[in-house]
């Protein structure tokens, strides 16, 4: 399989140096949350968006800033509230009395890394304003289109516990996130290390170690990673199993799925699989690369019934069973 990739050994070596450098930069500043760091790197390399779910205070914003600093990117944080307007995100036109004309003021979405904090607190109208930006990588203001940066990653967060004054994300918007990562509390030892690092002022030295050109190189190389037809078939069978689960996992679990994954899931599998292969030091995708990202890619694309919630059936349980039952090529 690796013989069919046109990635040279020197390109692979350069990519490995950048990848290991970013991961080390992250680990020196963030305690635990290694899966989050890997997911952010996957999103960076695949130039896709990521949804983070956890209670407040688990270093989501800090992690996003750290990755941004590592590659000299522009960071923008938008605190979502019910009264947030679309123009507060994408920008708008302001009348200049001195020139008697309208001037366009671009919003905070025009950055390399955009953190939408508690996205489910913003109204449906404001959430929809992000759809064009996330999918088309452009915004329309006053009838004119404005291109977003080449490196453009939306990192959205939501709190699964607090539901007062929130607006659930529509399936169409959820589907536009390449991955979803769920964070848990750190262990006691990890929390002690957090306190020690804060005392040691670990965040005082956040000098960049790479540039956006290095990111563009990683993104370019990711597109060149070889994916065999057998791997593509494996991906499509996995996604098909979410749509027709009774054929794979039996009626007991299948009855809890009300809607399976769309074709975007197959695309996300391929793009993230390529990035994961590169992180693992290879220029070709293996079945293990797909297995490692399955939960990240599928957990927000499978809709479960109310009965699943009542019976404490988690989407991760169903994904794991699907991966166990789909034959590995």
pLDDT digits (tens, 9 = 90+) for 102-120: 888 899 999 999 999 988 8
Question: Can you give the residue range of the structural domain that contains 63?
Answer: 31-189
Percent of the chain at pLDDT exceeding 70:
96
Is 238 within the bounds of a domain?
no
Is 297 within the bounds of a domain?
no
Q: What is the mean pLDDT of the chain?
A: 90
Contact 76, 115 (CB under 8 A): yes
Q: How far does CA 244 lie from the centroid of its chain?
A: 26
pLDDT tens for 271-283 read 999 999 999 999 9
Is 146 within the bounds of a domain?
yes
Which range, 83-92, 181-190, 234-243, has the best average confidence (pLDDT)?
Answer: 234-243
Q: Quick one: which of 206, 159, 173, 158 has its CA closest to 29? A: 206
Percent of the chain at pLDDT exceeding 90:
59
Is 257 within the bounds of a domain?
no
Which pLDDT band holds residue 6 (cuts at 50, 70, 90)? confident
Residue count of the chain, please give it.
329
In this prediction, residue 269 carries a pLDDT of 97
The total number of structural domains in the chain stands at 1
Q: Indicate which CATH number applies to the domain containing 42.
A: 3.40.50.300
Please give the DSSP secondary-structure letter assigned to residue 138. Answer: E
Which pLDDT band holds residue 172 (cuts at 50, 70, 90)? confident
Is 288 within the bounds of a domain?
no
Indicate whether this model's pTM tops 0.85: yes
Residue 221 phi, psi (nearest 5): -65, -35
H helix or E strand, kind and range, residue 232: helix 229-243
User: What's the rounded mean pLDDT across residues 313-318?
Assistant: 94
| Residue pointed to by tokens 């990588």 | 137
Is 52 within the bounds of a domain?
yes
Q: For the chain, what percentages of helix, strand and coil (3-state, to nearest 5) are there?
A: 50, 15, 35
Q: What gap in Å lies between CA 130 and CA 262, rounded to an integer?
A: 20
Per-residue pLDDT for 60 more than 60?
yes
Q: What gap in Å lies between CA 202 and CA 295, rounded to an integer?
A: 32
Per-residue pLDDT for 68 more than 60?
yes
pLDDT tens for 123-170 read 888 888 887 788 889 888 888 889 999 999 999 998 777 666 567 777
In this prediction, residue 171 carries a pLDDT of 78
In this prediction, residue 162 carries a pLDDT of 62
Residue 146 phi, psi (nearest 5): -125, 120
Per-residue pLDDT for 2 more than 50?
no
In this prediction, residue 102 carries a pLDDT of 82
Is 106 within the bounds of a domain?
yes
Q: What gap in Å lies between CA 257 and CA 243, rounded to an integer?
A: 8
Q: Quick one: tokens of 12? A: 């692979």
Contact 112, 74 (CB under 8 A): yes
Is 81 within the bounds of a domain?
yes
């Amino acid at each position: 399989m690796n013989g069919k990739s046109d990635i040279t050994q020197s390109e692979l070596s350069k990519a490995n140096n950048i990848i290991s450098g970013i991961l080390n930069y992250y680990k020196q500043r963030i305690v635990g949350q290694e899966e989050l760091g890997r997911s952010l790197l996957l999103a960076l390399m695949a130039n896709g968006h990521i949804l983070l779910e956890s209670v407040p205070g688990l270093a989501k914003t800090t992690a996003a800033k750290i990755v941004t600093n590592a590659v000299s990117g522009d960071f923008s944080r938008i605190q979502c509230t019910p009264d947030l307007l679309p123009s507060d995100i994408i920008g708008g036109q302001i009348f200049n009395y001195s020139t008697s004309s309208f001037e366009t003021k671009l919003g905070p979405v025009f950055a390399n890394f955009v953190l939408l904090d508690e996205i489910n607190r913003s109204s449906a109208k404001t959430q929809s304003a992000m759809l064009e930006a996330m999918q088309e990588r452009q915004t329309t203001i006053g009838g004119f289109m404005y291109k977003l940066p080449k490196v453009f990653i939306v990192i959205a967060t939501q709190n699964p516990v607090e539901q007062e004054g929130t607006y659930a994300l529509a399936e169409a918007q959820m589907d536009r996130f390449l991955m979803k990562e769920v964070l848990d509390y750190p262990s006691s030892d990890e929390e002690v290390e957090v306190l020690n690092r804060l005392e040691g002022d670990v965040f005082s030295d956040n000098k960049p170690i790479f540039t956006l050109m290095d990111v563009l190189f990683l993104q370019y190389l990711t597109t060149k990673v070889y994916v065999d037809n057998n791997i593509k078939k494996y991906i499509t069978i996995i996604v098909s199993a979410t749509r027709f689960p009774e054929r794979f996992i039996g009626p007991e679990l299948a009855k809890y799925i009300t809607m399976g994954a769309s074709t975007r899931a197959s695309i996300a599998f391929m793009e993230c699989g390529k990035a994961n292969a590169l992180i693992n030091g290879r220029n070709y995708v293996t079945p293990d690369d797909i297995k490692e990202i399955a939960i990240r890619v599928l957990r927000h694309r499978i809709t479960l019934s109310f009965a699943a919630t009542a019976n404490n059936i988690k989407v991760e349980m169903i994904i794991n069973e699907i991966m166990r039952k789909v034959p590995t090529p």
